Amino acid sequence: MTFLYFKKLLQLTIIVLSLSGCVGSFTHKAQDSEMPSWYINAPSNNTFFIYGEGESYSFSDAKNNALNSMASKLVVSIRSSISSSTKTSNNRNGNTYSKDVIKNLKIDVEKIKFTNATIEKSKKQEEKFYVLMKVDRQELFKNKKIEFDINDKRIMKVFDSTKGYGKLEQIHILQNIYPDIQKAKSQSIILNAINNDFKYDSYIEKYDSYIDKIAKLKNDLTIVVKSNSQNKYFKDSLIEILNQQQFKVSNSSSNDATIFLNNKVKYSIARGWNIAKVTTTISVISDNKIVSNKVLNSVGRSSTSQESALENASQNFLKKIQEKTLDRIIFNK
């Protein structure tokens, strides 16, 4: 009895120990599968740092996701800042930058290279990597401010240079730097999101005044369109696209700008069709100087008459201007 008793007791002890080992193993695995507490409760951005957390099955992807998280938090901050500024703004500029800048801000922020980002914490649990990164706000602000200042100074230099040109050329110069102006507007708002002490309102107002200058110049400018041909097809086609671009066209003489169309037409007949082949030289004169000379070849056809073929060629002429863009035609780009 004694031997059997001890044998059963030993067997029971082994079973209990085995079960406790399994429980410990399950508990260990459960703990391993849990995300780190510092990842779940990632720190909020503060005056000194911007934080971002990321996870992935590769360490590099986890880092990239953490950087994207930083960008997303900046976007939220920017939207809040713009919303607040727009509500308190009583002038046109508040509405302007909220409409034409905010839609591009997310993309601009995502392009930010957080070159000074450091890994605060990282851990691999099972197959996944968890990363917490941070960026020094003041260092990031310093780097982005340098980029902004370079762009801002270049825009101001180009804008100041327009004073010595005619209205048409001024429009050309300002339209060329329009993308840079939009970029500078975005940069100024991003700088404010990084460092709230940076006052971007004066920059926005300045850039909007540059954009307004384009509209004002177009409103003040008068263009005269002339042609060597008695038919108005090509002339009317050009006037149509000028009007679409908010240019004013007049029949009277003008000291602002003149566009002269020199059409050379060749007619032929092929398989019963009237064919009109037209070579058009477009000369643009601004401030008594030729600023552009472009040659376009257009073809039209008609089953009824040469006149109809010429009218059809003018439609082809209009299409080619639209394809090349008016800027390339009148600004010699």
Q: Give the model's pLDDT for residue 196.
A: 86
CATH topology of domain 38-136: Endonuclease I-creI (3.10.28)
pLDDT confidence bin for 177, thresholds 50/70/90 = very high
277 to 288, 298, 309, 321, 327: CA distances (angstroms): 31, 6, 9, 16, 24
Q: Which sequence spans correspond to the domains of the chain?
A: 38-136, 139-219, 222-330
Angle subtended by helix axes 306-324 and 233-244, to nearest 10 = 30
Neighbours of 125 (CB within 10 A): 15
pLDDT confidence bin for 255, thresholds 50/70/90 = confident
pLDDT confidence bin for 120, thresholds 50/70/90 = very high
> When comparing pLDDT for 2 and 221, which is higher?
221
Q: Which helix (H) or strand (E) holds 324?
A: helix 306-324
Q: Give the model's pLDDT for residue 166.
A: 86
Q: Give the model's pLDDT for residue 85.
A: 52
pLDDT confidence bin for 25, thresholds 50/70/90 = very low
Cβ contacts of 225 within 8 Å, gap of 6 or more: 235, 238, 239, 242, 249, 258, 259, 260, 261
Please give the share of the chain, as a percent, with pLDDT higher than 90: 51
Please give the share of the chain, as a percent, with pLDDT higher than 70: 80
Q: Average pLDDT of the chain?
A: 83
pLDDT confidence bin for 89, thresholds 50/70/90 = very low
> When comparing pLDDT for 77 and 235, which is higher?
235
* CATH class of the region 222-330: alpha beta
The residue-averaged pLDDT of 291-316 equals: 94
> When comparing pLDDT for 106 and 324, which is higher?
324
Residue 35: DSSP 8-state: P
Assigned architecture for domain 139-219? Up-down Bundle (1.20)
In tens, the pLDDT along 178-187 reads 999 989 988 9
Q: Give the model's pLDDT for residue 137.
A: 92
Fold equal for 38-136 and 222-330: no
